[in-house]
A and B are shown apart, each in its own frame.
Chain A
Amino acid sequence: MPSSLSTHKVSVARALCAAFALLFVLAQPAAAQLSFNPTAESVHEDQLLKALKEGDKITGRISIPDAMAASLIQPAGRDWRDFQRSKMPIIGGITIIGMLAVLLIFLAVRGRIRIHQGWAGTKILRFASFERFTHWLTASCFIVLALSGLNISFGRILILPLFGPQAFSTLSAYGKLAHNYLAFPFMLGLVIMFLIWVKDNIPGKIDLEWFKQGGGLLTNGKHPPSPRFNAGQKGIFWVVILGGAVMSVSGWFELFPYLPGDVTTMQIWTVIHAVMAMLLIAAMMAHIYIGSIGMEGAFDAMGTGEVDLNWAKEHHSLWVQEELAKGTVPAADTPRAVPAE
């Protein structure tokens, strides 16, 4: 019968309800006795901070699309700050002012390195126009990169008080733009320089002789025999190529944030970029010195490209022999480019 069936259903439902209710009533004191503590396993900031390793950070999960925002606390920022504010001025000061001091002392003690036999009046081609173009492309970019980079590191202390915040900020903004964009012709210059000059810059036995004689830097008029590039120039070549490569890679990582990894990795690359920059700037100061004020006749090599035959014989005897053997005729004297002294 449908009616009795439905009453049967209702009674079963009632019984079930009663059973559930009973279960609930019975379960209550049991739950109280369990005294479950929801915070027993809760994470504590103190514990997490203590467990942090060097350069590590407290991270979690985040529901916004920016995955990098999942980093909650990164105490490594403090070390980076310490590097920027405390260590960088020391590193930069020692390398740059130190190099300036060394060069001034050298100039005072040794004076300008003269052409011992005097000007020959005839000239020999040392750097072709493409070589000079590459050199000045890289050099001019380097100077702007170095100055704008130094401005980022030390401008706040040295230039800001002179210009005031608004003018200094405008200057720095243009400096940053120049730094970002000139990085690319600089890198191009590095690649071309490497390709055209690497064959003349392979270290060899002859370089040991140069080092033995101290490069002839301190002995007046006496020069170790040297091919197209002497050991000192080879040194500069490799400093520029390898140092430039480090600058390029680290700079690339700063241009394109998060390319090398998270913020900790980027911190490391900025430190590498800064330290390498200071060393390169110091090396280039020595290079600029010896190519201009420091040595008579040296600037012509990158100025007009043609050097005085006597200068060439004194500084690059083996190279001159080779060139003359090839039948290169020294050109008659043309007005020389004179460096600013």
Chain B
Amino acid sequence: MARMKFLCDADRCIECNACVTACKNEHEVPWGINRRRVVTINDGKPGERSVSMACMHCTDAPCAAVCPVSCFYTTADGVVLHSKDLCIGCGYCFYACPFGAPQYPKVGNFGSRGKMDKCTYCAGGPEADSTPAEYAKYGANRLAEGKLPICAEMCSTKSLLAGDGAIIAEIYKERVMKRGYGSGMWGWKTAYSDSPTG
């Protein structure tokens, strides 16, 4: 079984934000929520790098660990998903997440945050695959159609890679060997390396 991961080769990212836009469009993500974003480190200085970041689908995910109603689950592909039917909108996952992935639509009065929304790795949710109910809550289920996440698929510089962790890590390492530099596999240490199973 594949262990799905994202890898952003920051030396290739041109901060075009197409991944952000494609994601919003593919899943009709609610207003005010960005499942993916591009952050530019050292902006305007020599050696600035842009990193496209979303949910990293961590091993032993912190969101799942702190959820008071245990609404998270990990699929056989290693994708971390959640059930919006069980989510109570408490915000705990948002406190625990190292990548700022879980976000809340601002609905109703003060504390009544809506159901949490986050990147699904284009793998939908607990509903039956590719149903209207699944689409309404989580967006498209590309994985069920045998496709990779739209953000990585349409990345023009192939900076953002998605797929089995071992394969995309190999691709990145080859690139670094060939060109002689690389600013790192952003987020991998935080998302996967703390766990013995990777």
Contacts and interface: CB of A to CB of B under 8 A. Distances in A.
A225 interface: no
Nearest 7 A/B pairs, CB to CB: A41-B47, A45-B184, A180-B111, A39-B181, A42-B47, A61-B43, A60-B39
Given A45-B185, A72-B53, A77-B62, A39 B37 contact: no
B94 interface: yes
B193 to A, nearest CB: 11
Contact of B39 (A62, A152, A168, A257): A62
Interface stretch (B95-103, B133-141, B152-160): B95-103
A11 interface: no
Given A39-B47, A270-B95, A169 B88 contact: yes
Contact of A45 (B34, B47, B180, B189): B189
B38 A169 contact: no
Given A62-B38, A263-B94, A72 B51 contact: yes
A255 B48 contact: no
Contacts of B95: 77, 80, 263, 266-267, 270
Interface residues of B, number: 59
Interface in A132-167: 151-153, 155-156, 160, 165-166
A156 B190 contact: no
Interface in B147-196: 180-181, 183-187, 189-190, 194
A122 interface: no
A69 interface: yes
B39 A177 contact: no
Interface in A229-277: 254-257, 263, 266-267, 270
B47 A255 contact: no
Interface of A: 39-46, 48-49, 58-64, 66, 68-75, 77-78, 80-81, 84-85, 151-153, 155-156, 160, 165-166, 168-169, 172-173, 176-177, 180, 254-257, 263, 266-267, 270
B71 interface: yes
B185 A176 contact: no
B112 A180 contact: yes
Contacts of A77: 62, 95-98
Contact of A152 (B70, B90, B186, B190): B90
B32 A66 contact: yes
B98 A75 contact: yes
Contacts of B94: 263
Interface of A, secondary structure class, is helix
17 contacts: A39-B181, A41-B47, A42-B47, A43-B49, A46-B184, A61-B43, A72-B99, A72-B186, A73-B190, A77-B98, A80-B66, A84-B96, A165-B83, A169-B69, A169-B87, A169-B88, A254-B91
A180 B113 CA distance: 11
B85 interface: yes
B89 to A, nearest CB: 7
B8 to A, nearest CB: 10
B26 interface: no
Given A78-B62, A84-B66, A266-B95, 17 more contacts: A43-B41, A43-B49, A48-B41, A60-B41, A60-B42, A64-B34, A69-B39, A71-B100, A73-B53, A74-B98, A81-B62, A85-B65, A85-B66, A156-B67, A156-B70, A169-B87, A267-B95
